[in-house]
Structure formats: structure tokens, C-alpha cells
């Protein structure tokens, strides 16, 4: 299982910003540090702002800062806000009609793993993440 680029980048950005949650981060700074394209970053920041995690401060000395405390932001909420958890909770083989009453070949193998994965995302706070490991890769 792999997260989409959108979820990966959203998590990277917010984990990086959570190292100093009261700081104002510029788009230029985030692009340089996290190696995300400017256009992609700005679109994600708009989405993350609309979701109530961060806010945008306009102007020459502007940037992005947290509205919510990173202790109150769960990884599940970030992923859900940028792409929806339906993509992660759907059929592993991509079948639209896969369910417990109409299972695909992988359904019963994936159902427990998916539940465990959801539990990890629901119980892990943004502040639990080690921002130092974001810049190593």
C-alpha cells in the first residue's frame, strides 16, 4: 500500500512545519526544503488552509502557520482532507463492487490490514512524527 503523492506531500509539509508550529513558513522555504514543486505546494497549502489546519498570511512578510495545534491533528484527518480516505479504504484490486457480501480474491486478506492501518492513522498525531526524518530522503 502506498499513499498518493498528494497525501505524501501534505504529510511532509505539515510534519516539517510542526517542528516549530508557531513559526511562519514561506512557500519558497517549503519548496526548497521539501523539494515539492511550487505549483503543487501552493495547491496543497490552499487545501490544507480550507481544512482548517493552517492559515495563509498574505503580503511580503506572509507565509503559512498553524491554526490548529499539531497535538490535535491526526494523520487520518490530513489524508482525508486532501484526498479522502475512500481511496485507502477501497478494494485493493480496484473493484467498485467489492464488499463483504461480494468479496474479491484479496478482500478478506486486506480487511484486517486496512483496519489496522486506519487505526494507526486515527491514533497518530502530527506531533508524534519525527520531523528530522523528513529531510533525510
Name which of 44, 51, 109 is nearest 77 in CA terms.
51
Domain with 99 in it? 5-133
| Residue 92: DSSP 8-state | T
pLDDT digits (tens, 9 = 90+) for 72-101: 999 999 999 998 887 777 888 888 888 889
CA gap 19, 52 in Å, rounded: 18
Cell numbers linked to 84:
479522502
C-alpha to C-alpha distance for 5 and 71, rounded to whole angstroms: 24
Q: What pTM was estimated for this model as a whole?
A: 0.85
- Domain count for the chain, please give it: 1
Low-confidence ranges of the chain (pLDDT < 50): 137
What's the CATH number where 69 sits?
Answer: 1.10.10.10
Residue 24 CB contacts under 8 Å (≥ 6 apart), including other chains? 57, 61, 62, 63, 64, 65
* pLDDT number for residue 87: 73
The reported pLDDT for the residue numbered 133 is 65
Amino acid at each position: 500500500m502506498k499513499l498518493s503523492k498528494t497525501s505524501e506531500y501534505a504529510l511532509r509539509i505539515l510534519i516539517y512545519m510542526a517542528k516549530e508550529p508557531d513559526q511562519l513558513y514561506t512557500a519558497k522555504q517549503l519548496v526548497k526544503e521539501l523539494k515539492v514543486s511550487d505549483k503543487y505546494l501552493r495547491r496543497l497549502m490552499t487545501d490544507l488552509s480550507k481544512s482548517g489546519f493552517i492559515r495563509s498570511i498574505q503580503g511580503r512578510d506572509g507565509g503559512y502557520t498553524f491554526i490548529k495545534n499539531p497535538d490535535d491533528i491526526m494523520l487520518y484527518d490530513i489524508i482525508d482532507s486532501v484526498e479522502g480516505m475512500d481511496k485507502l479504504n477501497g478494494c485493493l484490486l480496484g473493484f467498485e463492487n467489492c464488499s463483504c457480501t461480494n468479496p474479491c480474491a484479496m478482500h478478506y486478506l486486506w480487511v484486517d490490514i486496512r483496519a489496522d492501518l486506519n487505526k494507526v492513522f486515527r491514533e497518530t498525531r502530527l506531533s508524534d512524527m519525527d520531523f528530522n526524518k523528513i529531510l533525510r530522503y
